[in-house]
């Protein structure tokens, strides 16, 4: 885990060396500056959590150094080391944003206590910032639930990966299968669980916003950069970054991410200084990254750097024995939240749930359960409460069964297969209202492959 960094700024070299040795013995990472100018030069590259700052310095004085530190990052705790008689200057320092002060000469244990309190205060501020970020996150669509053999294997892999602290993980699976939940399970079962789990969806933000969200920026880095902002990588120090839909990340950002994975360092936008961060990367995608590499849309070197360990999350249609288990779990959740009596599925609806393809996976199942709980007035869920697409799917299934004898009708097999393929593609496009990218996801193929198939069917 990352060491807490302390910068000592004092022109008394013997005092600095003594403090450095004592604080390093306590597990801190310590740097020394013997002047205000040296402190400012070292500061942006070192990024301390706490600064021990003497007010009387050669050249730039302590107040000027303090103002530059606070301007750079107001969350950094600056402890003023002051001699008796500097009361007026000390008061000015507190007004400028110093965390606390200690009079020279001081007891070492008293200083260490102040340092610990300052670090705890910094951690609390970061936790508040993290909680605010969590409120803005895309809502979590389900808990990780299932007894299917494929899911039990996933649980076993989560247990193993949670014991490794730095191994990069690539989670593969269709949209709605629970990739985010697998990532968070790895994080919260690991020793990093007391640090943040930060998520960014690479498909939901334009290129410039992805870059600023991940790496942060300096004041004035671009037109709207009114003040400095930390990126998710910096906020996740000691924790985990989850990069959802990594296949949608622009190539320019992929290069910067690769640099971070190799060096554990990055630069904020508008800064030339390297910032060192200890954060684990877990990425996820529903795209064929190997296909994207061939199309020059994803970096091959980044793919191999991310794909140290890969987890394949099965779609819901491949774990049918979990469908009713999940349904009952969601019924309990929504009935509890809405203050309703727990509902149950009628035998007919249970059969429909098991037969339905669930192209939207667990997310779609959860949404259906939420809908029927809202509108159900009794204790049993009947067919009439289900969404139109589920009713239509059952009718088409029944029609397919009764009409099976007429399939051949003297037609060659290639013509029959083309008709079936056309019907499947049309159904996927109908469900996605013509969105080819989403339809391709449902069908488990690339958008390019879907377009090629459509063109071929039109020409046949």
pLDDT per position as a tens digit, 308-320: 999 999 999 999 9
**What pLDDT is recorded for position 404?**
45
CA distance 216 to 68: 19
CA distances, 75 to each of 5, 61, 99, 122 (Å)? 14, 21, 9, 7
At residue 434 the predicted structure's pLDDT band, cuts being 50, 70 and 90, is confident
Maximum Cα interatomic distance, the chain, rounded to a whole number of Å: 105
Least reliable range by pLDDT among 6-15, 373-382, 427-436:
427-436
Residue with tokens 């906020």: 235
Count the Cβ atoms, other than its own, within 10 Å of residue 383: 13
What whole-number distance in Å separates Cα of residue 86 and Cα of residue 83? 6
**Tokens 């969806």, located at residue:** 201
Q: Which of 120, 121, 118, 111 is nearest to 50 (CA)?
A: 118
Give residue 184's Cα distance to chain centre. Answer: 8
Rounded Cα distance, 159 and 188, in Å: 11
Q: In the chain, what is the straight-line distance between the N-terminal and C-terminal CA atoms, in Å? A: 60
| Structure confidence at residue 206 (pLDDT) | 84
Any idea which of 138-147, 174-183, 267-276, 282-291 has the lowest mean pLDDT? 138-147
pLDDT at residue 135, as a whole number = 43
Mean pLDDT rounded to a whole number for the chain: 85
pLDDT of residue 84: 63
Query: What confidence score (pLDDT) does residue 421 get?
Result: 81
Going by C-alpha positions, the residue among 81, 170, 79 that lies closest to residue 119 is: 79
Band (401; pLDDT cuts 50, 70, 90): very low
Whether 97 and 74 have beta carbons less than 8 Å apart is answered as yes
Query: Per the omega criterion (within 30 degrees of 0), is the bond before 439 cis?
Result: no
- 184 near 242, Cβ under 8 Å? yes
Distance in angstroms (rounded) separating the CA atoms of residues 107 and 84: 15
**Cα 298 to Cα 306: distance, rounded to the nearest angstrom:** 12
Structure confidence by residue, pLDDT tens digits, 151-191: 999 999 999 999 998 899 999 999 889 999 999 999 988 99
Distance CA 19, CA 447 (A): 61
d(CA 275, CA 300): 26
Whether 431 shows a pLDDT value over 90: the answer reads no
Rounded to the nearest angstrom, the gap between the alpha carbon of residue 96 and the centroid of all alpha carbons in its chain is: 35
- pLDDT for res 129: 63
pLDDT digit string, tens, across residues 32-49: 999 999 998 888 778 899
* pLDDT over threshold 60, residue 242: yes
| Rounded Cα distance, 358 and 365, in Å | 7
Q: What SS3 class is residue 5?
A: strand
Angle at CA 72, nearest 5°, toward 66 and 73?
A: 90
Model confidence pLDDT, tens digit, residues 255-274 = 999 999 998 899 988 888 88
What is the rounded CA–CA span in Å between residue 436 and residue 442?
10
**For residue 139, is pLDDT > 50?**
no
Give the model's pLDDT for residue 136: 42
pLDDT of residue 303: 95
pLDDT of residue 241: 94
DSSP, residue by residue, 290-316: HHHHHTTSS-HHHHHHHTTEEEEPPPG
Percent helix, strand and coil across the chain, each rounded to 5? Answer: 55, 15, 35
* Long-range contacts, 392-398 (Cβ 8 Å, 24+): 393/355, 393/356, 393/357, 394/352, 394/355, 394/356, 397/355
**What percent of the chain has pLDDT above 90?**
38
Provide the whole-model pTM: 0.62
| Spatial distance between the Cα atoms of 241 and 211, rounded to a whole number of angstroms | 14
- Residue 403 pLDDT level (bands cut at 50, 70, 90): very low
CA atoms of 25 and 194, how far apart (whole Å): 23
| Separation of alpha carbons 192 and 280, rounded Å | 9
The stretches of 26-107 forming alpha helices (DSSP H) are 36-46, 62-72, 87-96
| Separation of alpha carbons 342 and 119, rounded Å | 47
Instruction: For residues 319-329, give the mean pLDDT.
Output: 90
């Amino acid at each position: 885990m990352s060491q807490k960094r302390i910068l000592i700024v004092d022109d008394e070299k013997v005092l600095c060396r003594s403090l450095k040795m004592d604080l390093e013995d306590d597990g801190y990472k310590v740097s020394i500056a013997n002047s205000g100018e040296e402190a400012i030069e070292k500061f942006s590259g070192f990024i301390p959590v706490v600064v021990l700052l003497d007010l009387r310095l050669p050249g730039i004085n302590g107040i000027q150094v303090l103002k530059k530190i606070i301007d750079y990052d107001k969350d950094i705790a600056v402890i003023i080391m002051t001699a008796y008689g500097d009361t007026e200057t000390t008061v000015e320092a507190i007004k400028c944003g110093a965390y606390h002060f200690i009079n020279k000469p001081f007891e070492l244990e008293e200083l260490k206590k102040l340092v610990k309190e300052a670090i705890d205060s910094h951690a609390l501020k970061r936790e508040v910032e993290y909680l605010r970020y969590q409120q803005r996150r895309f809502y979590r669509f389900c808990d990780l639930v299932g007894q299917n053999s494929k899911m039990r294997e996933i649980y076993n892999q989560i247990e193993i990966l949670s014991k490794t602290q730095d191994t990069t993980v690539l989670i593969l699976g269709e949209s709605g299968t629970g990739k985010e939940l697998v990532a968070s399970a790895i994080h919260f079962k690991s020793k990093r669980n007391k640090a943040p789990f930060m998520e960014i969806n690479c498909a939901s933000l334009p290129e410039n916003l992805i870059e600023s969200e991940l790496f942060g920026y300096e004041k004035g880095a671009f037109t709207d950069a009114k003040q400095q902002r930390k990126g998710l990588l910096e906020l996740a120090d000691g924790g985990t970054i989850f990069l959802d839909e990594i296949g949608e990340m622009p190539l320019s950002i992929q290069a910067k991410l690769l640099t971070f994975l190799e060096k554990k360092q990055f630069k904020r936008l508008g800064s030339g200084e390297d910032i060192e961060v200890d954060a684990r990367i877990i990425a996820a995608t529903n795209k064929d990254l190997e296909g994207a590499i061939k199309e020059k849309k994803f970096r091959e070197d980044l793919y191999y750097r991310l794909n140290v360990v890969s987890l394949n999350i099965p779609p819901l249609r491949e774990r049918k024995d979990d469908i009713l288990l999940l349904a009952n779990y969601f019924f309990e959740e929504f009935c509890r939240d809405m203050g309703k009596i727990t509902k149950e599925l009628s035998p007919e609806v249970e059969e429909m749930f098991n037969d339905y393809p669930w192209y939207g996976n667990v997310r779609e199942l959860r949404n259906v359960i939420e809908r029927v709980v809202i509108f159900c007035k009794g204790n049993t869920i009947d067919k009439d409460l289900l969404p139109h697409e589920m009713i239509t799917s059952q009718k088409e299934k029944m029609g397919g069964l009764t009409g099976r004898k007429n399939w051949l009708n003297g037609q060659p097999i290639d013509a029959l297969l083309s008709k079936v393929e056309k019907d499947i593609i049309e159904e996927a496009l109908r469900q996605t209202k013509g969105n080819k990218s989403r339809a391709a996801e449902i069908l488990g193929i690339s958008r390019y492959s879907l377009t090629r198939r459509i063109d071929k069917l039109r020409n046949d």
